[in-house]
Structure formats: structure tokens, C-alpha cells
Structure 1
Amino acid sequence: MSVLKVEQNRHICQVIINRPSSHNAINFAVMDALEELLDEMEANTDIRCLIFTGEGDDSFISGGDLKEFHTIKTAEEAKPMAKRMLTILKRIEQLPCWTIAAINAPAYGGGCEIMLAFDFRIASEEATFGFTQGKFYLPPGWGGLTRLVEKVGRSTALQWLAEAKIVDTESALRHKLIDRTAPPDKLQEQALSWAKKMSKNDRPFIKNLKEGAMRTTKARWEAIDAELDTFAEFWESDLHEQRVEKFLQRKDN
């Protein structure tokens, strides 16, 4: 079974992360598939918009696959994994085409970090957003802290992360975490309609706009890169290990 379902229709590429039994969690196989997808997206000049969503009704992306990543114990081991995802999200953000995250269901932890790397976000009215990294004694490690502060402001971002907050779509829309909402059964239809409206100009035009909007980002990239070191340090802490063990034991029972 492919971990990504990919369909291109003229200028629009629709991608579904396809691990519903694992709540569409990110593992190494998904990273491999995302890197291959990005190679194609960067090279295919026909694509003017990417729509990304999750399979099923239970989850958009639940974050990193703790069962698989739990074998990683030290900061030295955690850094390559986190850096790989950080690089994938940078590549998504820098694609010379528009990108839309269609949040079909709850997004937690790294799932929220992933959606923040997209240009635009449309969410099901029943979706929720969990900034739950703190439950596992981890700060964001994929650029999510910097991007969250950009979207909702410093105070709100810090409060949500401190409280491991679960945010509904109404609050997410009010704080500009997301751009639009849609009824669950209309989400993909409305995301596609939105993509078609934005795909009238070619990639050189889209690239010009996106690069123009990022001209003052040197310090921003430094801030995103700096998240990697602190993430890795907390990853190897005893408290992180204990909280993940407790979570996995609860899931297995």
C-alpha cells in the first residue's frame, strides 16, 4: 500500500497521506515518499497548485509516529530525523506553486507543524488542532514554533504550546491559524475550487509572488533552524522517554 496517493489533474496535484490505521502519522516511509513527491513537484512545471490532505475521517496528520521513532534515544540520533522533516517542510514552503493544506480531521503536534508550512489552510468544520508536543516534553522541532508565532502572534502561540491546547475551527479561524472552513463533505470540493481560482497564472508568476513575499526571511530561516537543536536536546531527556512510554502503553492496552 502506498503511503501517499497522488493524482494530477491538469495544473492541480492532489495528495493524500494514506496511513489511516496509524492516524496518518509521519514515519520514515512517508518521509521517503514526500521527498520523491517534492522532486517531482519541483521539476513539473505544469503543476500550479498542490492540495494535501489525510486519508479517512479520524486524522489529518497525528504528528510523528512515536512507535517507530521511539527507537531513537539520543539527541545525536534525533537530529537527523528532525532535520529531514524540517528540510521537507522548507521545500514545501518554497515550492514554485501554490500549496493548500485541506485539514480533513484532527491535526496534532507535528501535523500542525506540517500544515503551517503550506501557503493556505482550509479545514473541515469538525477538525481540531492540538499543540500537544508539551505532553511529551518536547518543543516543536520542525519549524512549528516560528511559523505558529507568525500566524497567531507570540502570546497566543506560547499559551497554546504551554497548555498543550486543543483548538476548534472557530478559534483557529478567529486567530488566523486557518484561512477557511468547509462542511466535512464539501472540504475537498471547496479546496479544489479554490485551487482552480489560484491556478490561472503560470509557475514563473507564482514563483515571483512567493519569493517576493519572503525577501526579508534570513533571520526567519535562522530561527527555524535553531528549533532543531532544542528539539534534539529535549528528545533525549528522561522525561520525554517516560511520557512516550506511558502513551504507548496506554495505546496498547
Structure 2
Amino acid sequence: MKPYIVEEFSNGILLFTINRPEKRNAVNYEIMDGLEHALNLANNKKVKVFAITGAGDLAFCSGGDLSAFHCLRTEDEAFEMLNRMSDLLVKLFYLQKPTVALLNGTAVGGGCELASACDFRIARKNVKAGFIQGTLAITTGWGGGTFVSEKLLPANAMKMLMEASLYDTKQLEDLGFVQMIADGDLLESSKHFLEKMLRLDVNVLKAYKMMFINKWEKAGLKERVKEEVRRCSELWEDEAHHKQVAKFLGIK
């Protein structure tokens, strides 16, 4: 089974699906390769909107695959992995077209960072999401802390980051993290949400997106993400983090 699926629809939506439901759609190096491939395809002039979702109905993305990344012990080893994924999420954040995360299931840790890199988030009812990295004695490390601080009111962004908790769909909507709660089919709901955008010429969409990209550039977003990655790498090396990961994986 291919770990990811890329589909292009006639209405201009390019959909990237993490296809690892048995691993709660956790990110490994194959998923990183797939996301990079999809982002390159998203630059095609026929694509008006880039969307991301997960396979199944349990998880959008559970963050980094701890079974794959548990072997990373030192600050330098962690930085290499975190930096690669953060570069991809910055590329997603800066994509010159609207982007949307379709939260088909739980988005935790790095999964919440992936969702925060998108312009919009549409969630199925009863979905939960949160930046739970603090429970593993680390911070966000893929740029999510920086992204969410640009998207939400400061107090709401701080709440989500510092509480390291999961929030239900209504709470996520109240915080401003989710823009729409879907009743039925998630992809169909997203088409309804994006309907008016998809009517516009792609160059109009790009021109408006560039207004925000220029703002983020002036705010030094890329440099702030690098600092976020470095802070997480430092904490990653600490014994406190390794103990929490071992506890989570059931390793004695």
C-alpha cells in the first residue's frame, strides 16, 4: 500500500492524502518525500487549491512516527529531521495558492503543526486536535508554534501551545483554529467552503496570497521557524524527553 496518495480534481483542487491509517497517519521520511512531490505539483497553473487529509476516519495525522524517530537521540540528529519537515511546512505555508487541511480525524502534535501550516482548516464533527508536544517534554519543532501565532489571536495561540491539550471541534472553532465543521462528506464540504474561491482565476488567488506572504516575509517568519526548530532540538536531547517517549511507546 502506497503511504500517500495525490489526486487532482477537475475543479482545481489538488489533494494529498497521508495513507497510513494503521499508523494513525504518522509522518515518516516517505511521507516527507510525498509531501514535497505534491507541493511541486501544486505549482501547476491548473491547481487553484492544495488540500491535505488523512486516510480513514480516526486520524488526520498523529505527528511524527515515534517508532521511526525514537532512534534520534542527539540535538544534531533531531535537528536534521525537524529541519527537513519544517522546511516542507514553510513551503506549504508560503504556497502561492489557498491551502486547506481536511481534518478527517484527530490531529495531534506534528499533525496539528501540519494543519496550522494551511490557510484554512475544515474538521469533521467530533474531531480533536492539539499541540501535545509539551507532554513529551519538547516544544513544537516543525514550525507550528510560529504558524499558529500568525493565524490566531495571541492569547488563543498561547493557550493551545502552553496547555498541550486536545480540544474538541467546537473549542477549536471558538479558538479560531477551525473555520468550518463538516456534517457530511469532508471533501464535499470542502468543495462547498471553497466554491467561491474556485470560481476565480488562479492569478487572482495568487495575487491575494502574495499579500500575506509579503507580510510574513517582513515579519521574519522563516528565521523564527529556524529558531523554533533549534529550541525543540535542544529539548529533544534531554533525558526528560526520551523518558516520556519511552513511556509512550511502552519501552522500559
Q: Do the aligned partners of 1:15 and 1:53 also contact (CA within 8 Å) in 2?
A: yes
Q: Structure 2 counterpart of 1:195, which letter? A: L
After TM superposition, the runs of 4+ consecutive aligned structure 1 residues lying more than 4 A away are: none
Q: Do the aligned partners of 1:25 and 1:64 also contact (CA within 8 Å) in 2?
A: yes
The alignment partner of 2:26 has SS state of coil
Q: Structure 1 counterpart of 2:161, which letter? A: L
Deviation at 1:16, TM superposition (A): 1.4
For residues 157-236 of structure 1, what are the structure 2 equivalents within 5 Å?
Answer: 157-183=157-183, 185-217=184-216, 218=218, 219-236=220-237
Given the two structures, how large is their TM-score scaled by the length of structure 1?
Answer: 0.93
How many residues align structurally? 249
Q: Distance in 2 between matches of 1:162 and 1:216?
A: 26
Q: Percent identity?
A: 35
Q: Distance in 2 between matches of 1:71 and 1:5?
A: 27
The alignment partner of 1:7 has SS state of strand
Structure 1: which 5+ runs fail to align? none
Provide, for residues 79-111 of structure 1, a one-character-per-residue CA deviation record: whole Å limited to 9, x for no partner: 111111111111112222211111011110011
Q: Distance in 2 between matches of 1:126 and 1:119?
A: 21
Is 1:2 the counterpart of 2:7? The answer is no
Deviation at 1:35, TM superposition (A): 1.1
Q: Distance in 2 between matches of 1:162 and 1:34?
A: 28
Structure 2: which 5+ runs fail to align? none
Q: Structure 2 counterpart of 1:188, which letter? A: L
The alignment partner of 2:62 has SS state of coil
Q: Distance in 2 between matches of 1:94 and 1:25?
A: 23
- Aligned Cα RMSD in Å? 1.6
The alignment partner of 1:77 has SS state of helix
Q: Structure 1 counterpart of 2:204, which letter? A: F
Q: Structure 2 counterpart of 1:104, which letter? A: N
Q: Do the aligned partners of 1:126 and 1:169 also contact (CA within 8 Å) in 2?
A: yes
Residue of structure 1 in register with 2:108 after alignment: 108
Residue of structure 1 in register with 2:19 after alignment: 18
Residue of structure 1 in register with 2:55 after alignment: 55
Residue of structure 2 in register with 1:75 after alignment: 75
Q: Structure 2 counterpart of 1:199, which letter? A: L
Q: Do the aligned partners of 1:96 and 1:203 also contact (CA within 8 Å) in 2?
A: no
Q: Do the aligned partners of 2:90 and 2:222 also contact (CA within 8 Å) in 1?
A: no
Q: Do the aligned partners of 1:51 and 1:191 also contact (CA within 8 Å) in 2?
A: no
For residues 107-146 of structure 1, what are the structure 2 equivalents within 5 Å?
Answer: 107-146=107-146
Deviation at 1:115, TM superposition (A): 0.5
Q: Distance in 2 between matches of 1:206 and 1:161?
A: 31
Given the two structures, how large is their TM-score scaled by the length of structure 2?
Answer: 0.93
The alignment partner of 1:118 has SS state of coil
The alignment partner of 2:14 has SS state of strand
